[in-house]
Structure 1
Amino acid sequence: MRLVTFNVLHGASPDDGLVDLDRFAGAVVALDPDVLALQEVDRGQERSHGADLAAVAAEAMGAATTRFVAAMTGDPGPTWRPASRTLGPDAPAYGVALLSRYPLVGWRDLHLPRIAPPVPRVRRDPRRLELAREELRTAVVARLETPEGPLLVASAHLSFFPGWNQLQLYALRRALTTGGAGRGPAVLMGDLNMTPRPVRAVTRFRPLVTADTFPVHAPRFQIDHVLARGDVGAVVDARAVELPMSDHRALVVELDRSRLG
C-alpha cells in the first residue's frame, strides 16, 4: 500500500504561479498513490480554472472513493469566509481531500478550533510583523476497507500559528482515538504546520517517514507528516518527492501489509 500526503498549493507552481491541470494530474500519476491526502485543494475557483482538483486527482489515480471537506468558500480576497457544514456542492471552495483506491465505508468531517479575529504574526521572508486572519481549518477522517482489514485514515491541514495548531492537533487526536475510532490501526497524514517533536508529543503516534518538506526547492523543515497508530505493516520505502508544482514536497510511504500482526 502506498500512502501519500501532498499540500498542492491549489495546483500552482511556485516557479510560474500558474495552475496547469495536466501538470497537476501528471503529478498524481507519478505519485501512484493507493491512499492520497491532499491539502489546499480548490473547487470551482477561478485561479484553478474552475476545476474540482479532488476530482481531477481521483481520475488520475483511479480512486474508488473521494471525500472533499471545504474550509473556506467564496473567492480568495474580500469574499473569503469560513465554509458552513451545509455548503452546496457547486459553491466555490477550498479545503482538504482524501482519495482512496479502496472502498470508503464511513467518514467524519471535522471543523477544527479557529482563531476568529486577526492576530499578529512574524513572516520569515521578508521578515516583518503583520496582522493575519486565520482560515478555518478542517480534516476528514475515513474508514477504508482494505484487503488486510479496516484502516482509519485522516487528511488534515492545521494552522501556522504556534500553540493554536497544537490545540487543533489535540482535537484531531481525540477524533482518532475515542469511541469506535480508537479500535484498530490508524494513519494521520497532512500539513500539520509543526515540526516532528511537537507532533509526536501531541499525537503519540509514530512517524512513518522523516524528511524535510518545506520549502520545496531547498527544504529545511518537516511540516508535512505521515504517522501511525497500531500495526499498519512494515515500511519498505519512505521519502519526500519534489514535483513541478506546489511549495511543499509530497511525502510517500510504501507499506508491506502482508504480514500484519
Structure 2
Amino acid sequence: MRLATFNILHGRSTADDVVDVDRFARAVADLDADVLALQEVDRNQRRSGRADLARVAAEAMGAVDVRFAPTLDRWGASGRSQYGVALLSRFPVLEWRTLPLPRRPWWRPLPRGAGGRRLRWGWDEPRTAVVAVVATPQGRLTVVATHLSFLDGWGEHQLERLARGLEGAPRPLVLLGDLNLRSETPAIVTGWSPLVVARSYPVAHPMLQIDHVLADGEVRPLAPGRAVDTGLSDHRALVVDVELDGPGGA
C-alpha cells in the first residue's frame, strides 16, 4: 500500500501564486496514495475559493473515509471558515480520534504599519493530531497525521507529548506530517524508524527534510521513499510504498 504526506499550502502554487482547485485535485490523484495526510487544509476560506479541500482530495484519490480536524475556526459573513489537517484513506477506518497538542506563547511579528509596533505577545497556532485505525488489506494499521510548531524546541516537545499519547495505540503505527523538525530529529525523539529519507523543503530546490513518515512496529518499505514535486505548495509531498510484516499484517 502507498502512504503519503503533503503540506498543501491551501492548494496554492508558488509558481503562479494561484489556488486552482482542479489542479489540486489532479496533484492528489497523481500521488495515488492509499492513505494520505494533508496539512494546511482550508474549508470555506476565501483564499482557496471557499472550497472544502479535504473533500476535494477525498474525491480525487477515491477515499472511502476522511477526517478533517480544524485547528483554526472562525465565523464571518460567509459562514464558518476553517483551517487544519486531514487524514484520508481508501480503506475503511475502524476508529477515529484527535489529540490536541500543547501551545506556547511567543512574540508574534506584526504586519508593517501596525501602530508602529513590530511584535505582539500571543499564542502559537493551535496544533492537533488525527489518529485512525485503518483496516488495510494486510491488517490493521494505526495512522497518525499532524503538523507541528515551527517554534524552536516546541516541535520536539509536541512530538514527545504525541508519542506518549500514542503509547496505548495499536501497533503497527505510522506517523505522517510536516513536523517542522529536521533530518533525524523526529526519529531520535520518538525512537521510531524513518520510512522516507528525502529533502522536502523548499519545493523548487529542497535543502531540508521537515516532512516525515515514521513507523513503530512491523512496517517495511518496499522501495526507498521519495519527495515529489506536485507543482503545488512550498513543500514536496513524501510518498512510500510499504507492507505490514508483523501481527498487524497477519
TM score, norm. by length of structure 1: 0.85
Deviation at 1:131, TM superposition (A): 5.7
**C-alpha RMSD of the superposition:** 2.0
Distance 1:113 1:197, change over 3 A: same
Alignment match, 1:228: 215
Map 1:187-206 onto structure 2 (within 5 A). Answer: 187-206=174-193
Match of 2:166, SS?
Answer: helix
Match of 2:114 in 1: none
Instruction: Determine helix, strand or coil for the equivalent of 2:184.
Output: helix
Task: Give the structure 1 partner of residue 98 of structure 2.
Answer: 109
Structure 2 spans left out of the alignment, 5+ residues: 110-117
Matched, 1:247 2:237: no
Structure 2: how far apart are the matches of 1:20 and 1:131?
34
Change beyond 3 A, Cα 1:256–1:184: closer
Matching residue of 1:57: 57
Q: 231-240 or 56-65, which moves further after superposition? A: 231-240
Match of 1:174 in 2: 164
Change (3 A) 1:228 1:91: same
Provide closer, same or farther for how the CA distance between residues 247 and 130 of structure 1 changes in structure 2, counting only shifts above 3 A: farther
Checking the alignment, whether the CA contact within 8 Å between 1:208 and 1:235 is kept in structure 2 is no
Amino acid at match of 1:104: V
Residue by residue over 1:105-161, the C-alpha shift from the partner in whole angstroms, topping out at 9 and shown as x without a partner, is 1111122101135357xxxxxxxx966852111110111011111100011000001
CA contact (8 A) 1:176 1:186 kept: no
Q: Distance in 2 between matches of 1:15 and 1:220?
A: 18
Following the alignment from structure 2 to structure 1, what is the Cα–Cα distance between the partners of residues 183 and 229? 20
Cα pair distance change 1:145/1:48, threshold 3 Å: same
Q: Distance in 2 between matches of 1:251 and 1:234?
A: 13
Equivalent residue for 1:44?
A: 44
The correspondence of residues 1-261 of structure 1 with structure 2, limited to 5 A, is 1-74=1-74, 91-119=80-108, 134-177=124-167, 179=168, 181=169, 183-257=170-244
CA contact (8 A) 1:237 1:255 kept: no
| 1:233–1:59 CA distance, 2 compared to 1 (3 A) | same
Deviation at 1:214, TM superposition (A): 0.4
- Percent sequence identity over aligned pairs: 53
TM-score, normalised via structure 2 length: 0.89
Cα separation, 2, equivalents of 1:2 and 1:44? 29
Check 1:132–1:103 CA distance in 2 against 1; reply closer, same or farther (3 A cut). farther
Contact 2:105 2:121 in 1 (8 A): no
Letter in 2 for 1:110: L
Distance, in Å, in 1 between the alignment partners of 2:237 and 2:119 is: 29
Equivalent residue for 2:112? none
Inter-partner Cα distance in structure 2 for 1:176 and 1:147: 23
Retained in 2: the 8 A contact 1:152–1:187? yes
Alpha carbons 1:105, 1:145 under 8 Å: kept: yes
Q: Deviations over 1:83-106 (max 9, x none)?
A: xxxxxxx72100000000010111
Deviation of the 1:256 alpha carbon: 3.5
